[in-house]
Amino acid sequence: MGAIVQLTARHVHETVGQQPTAPESAALRAGRTASADAGRDQGANAVAQLRAQLERVQGRRLDAPVLPVHPALASLLPGGGLRPGSAYSLPRSTSVLLALLAQPSQSGSWCGVIGRPRLGAEAAEGLGVDLSRLVLIPDPGARWLAVTSTVAEVLPVVAVRPSGRAADGEISRLAARLRDRGAVLLVQGPWPQAEAVIEVGEPAWEGVGRGHGYLSGREVTLTSSSRRWPRSRRARVMLPDAAGHVSAAPERMRPVESLHPAAAAAYEVSLGHRVRAVG
């Protein structure tokens, strides 16, 4: 990679900056134009070679399309979706996991969930997961990482809740497997070198009055951090909304606070002075 980067930099210095110091003949200008065109072609080839080498190192195309997610979640993910060959660190929230699985399954991608024995099919379907493309492995046992690696061989989206620690070497081998197969890994818990880390907080339930009423929805704040961004991103979403689905939380207008009587009187006086000054 270093040789290619140096070649690209050297090409920039060679093709830019040497200005003619005397009038040129038509033949000389034509020759210089041809030379410049050849230089541009050489630069394009150098960039293509650099891109190809980066893709070989990373194990996936840099411009590979991402798997779609709900629009309310797209801003939280680099590229606006789930990037093949990447891993994501999620909170231990069933709603967040199912919300991320919904669009990929609806678009035709098979999804596997490992280590979630109490995951409800009704809840998954309610949040939009296509059950006909969902594979559940409730109890993988102590070899959960080996099971995850095997499932990633055949399914494009794999979600797992780790039941124990994993050795660095095993994690590296799984990462290589993901890149080789173009699979997406969703981990409910910390994970090294995650494409993005999503956290949930600030829950607020709707539909509850003064000790009575029915719960109609839950509004939460999702925070995402990624090495691709200079700062974390936040989104307020309904998870679930009144229909049981995921949706963007409605923007709420901040209530206008009434002025204290003394402050209101002072405001009226100042307003009167401005009116007299104008009139």
Residue 238 Cα distances to 73, 102, 126, 129, 189, angstroms: 11, 15, 13, 16, 22
**Could you tell me if residue 66 is inside a domain?**
no
Whether residue 129 sits in one domain with residue 9: no
Whether residue 103 sits in one domain with residue 11: no
Q: If you average pLDDT over residues 216-222, what whole number do you get?
A: 85
Q: Residue 204 is part of a domain; what is its CATH number?
A: 3.40.50.300
Q: Which residue has the tokens 């000790």?
A: 211
Q: Which of 147, 149, 71, 58 is nearest to 103 (CA)?
A: 71
> What confidence score (pLDDT) does residue 218 get?
84
Which residues are CB-contacts of 20 (< 8 A; sequence separation ≥ 6)? 32
Which residues are CB-contacts of 76 (< 8 A; sequence separation ≥ 6)? 196, 198, 222, 224, 233, 235
Of all helices (H) and strands (E), which one includes residue 238? strand 233-238
Whether residue 213 sits in one domain with residue 139: yes
pLDDT, one tens digit per residue, over 252-262 is 644 444 445 55
**Could you tell me if residue 50 is inside a domain?**
yes
d(CA 256, CA 203): 24
Whether residue 184 sits in one domain with residue 88: yes
**Could you tell me if residue 22 is inside a domain?**
no
Confidence of residue 213 (pLDDT cuts 50, 70, 90): low
Q: Is the dihedral of CA 70, 92, 243, 235 positive or negative?
A: negative
> What confidence score (pLDDT) does residue 247 get?
84
Whether residue 205 sits in one domain with residue 117: yes
**Could you tell me if residue 276 is inside a domain?**
no
- Structural domains of the chain, count: 2
Whether residue 137 sits in one domain with residue 50: no
Q: Which of 48, 50, 102, 49 is nearest to 73 (CA)?
A: 102
Whether residue 37 sits in one domain with residue 79: no
d(CA 254, CA 109): 41
Whether residue 156 sits in one domain with residue 37: no
Q: Which of 198, 199, 197, 244 is nearest to 218 (CA)?
A: 244
Whether residue 144 sits in one domain with residue 37: no
d(CA 102, CA 159): 12
Whether residue 244 sits in one domain with residue 108: yes
Of all helices (H) and strands (E), which one includes residue 11? helix 2-15
**Could you tell me if residue 279 is inside a domain?**
no
Checking if the pLDDT of 21 tops 50, the result is: no
> What confidence score (pLDDT) does residue 111 get?
96
- What's the domain range around 43? 2-15+28-58
Q: If you average pLDDT over residues 241-261, what whole number do you get?
A: 65
pLDDT, one tens digit per residue, over 135-173 is 999 999 889 999 999 999 999 999 999 988 888 899 999
Whether residue 77 sits in one domain with residue 53: no
Q: If you ran DSSP here, which 8-state letter would residue 142 be given?
A: G
**Could you tell me if residue 244 is inside a domain?**
yes
pLDDT, one tens digit per residue, over 171-181 is 999 999 999 99
**Could you tell me if residue 254 is inside a domain?**
no
Of all helices (H) and strands (E), which one includes residue 74? helix 71-74
**Could you tell me if residue 272 is inside a domain?**
no
> What confidence score (pLDDT) does residue 126 get?
87
> What confidence score (pLDDT) does residue 37 get?
60
Which residues are CB-contacts of 152 (< 8 A; sequence separation ≥ 6)? 158, 174, 177, 178, 181, 183, 185
Whether residue 205 sits in one domain with residue 128: yes
d(CA 170, CA 231): 30
